Amino acid sequence: MGVTRRDRIRNTIIRKTLGVEFSILDRITRKRLHYFGHVQRMPPSRLPKMAFECHIQGVRPRGRPPKRWRDCLLADCKRTNLNSIVNASRTTVDRTVWRDIVMRMPPLNPQLE
């Protein structure tokens, strides 16, 4: 479009003009959920599956803990009306159902961008 930040046009207006339905955050969320389904269908001996299911012992330092991939997945699952990662992992067994859930996920609130 040739628009710069100096033009002070909102992202929602630019996306609507270009016909882009979803924001980049929506695309990242969908890709994350697609990969989660892929990891859940892996055999337990694969490294990505073992890394996802491992629990590290120890004490974290003071302050706010860093955001983990599992935390992002939990927020994404809540957006798709799956209340927990356990429910989501049960749903990933059927690829077509999981794909439909991910594709029908509502977009993020455009007012927050």
Rounded to whole angstroms, the Cα distance separating 11 from 80 reads 24
Residue 109's pLDDT band, with cuts at 50, 70 and 90, is low
| Tens-place pLDDT, residues 56-92 | 888 888 998 888 888 999 998 888 888 888 899 999 9
Neighbour-count burial of 103, counting CB atoms closer than 10 A to its CB (0-12 exposed, 13-18 middle, 19+ buried): exposed
- Note the pLDDT of residue 110: 52
Q: What is this structure's pTM?
A: 0.78
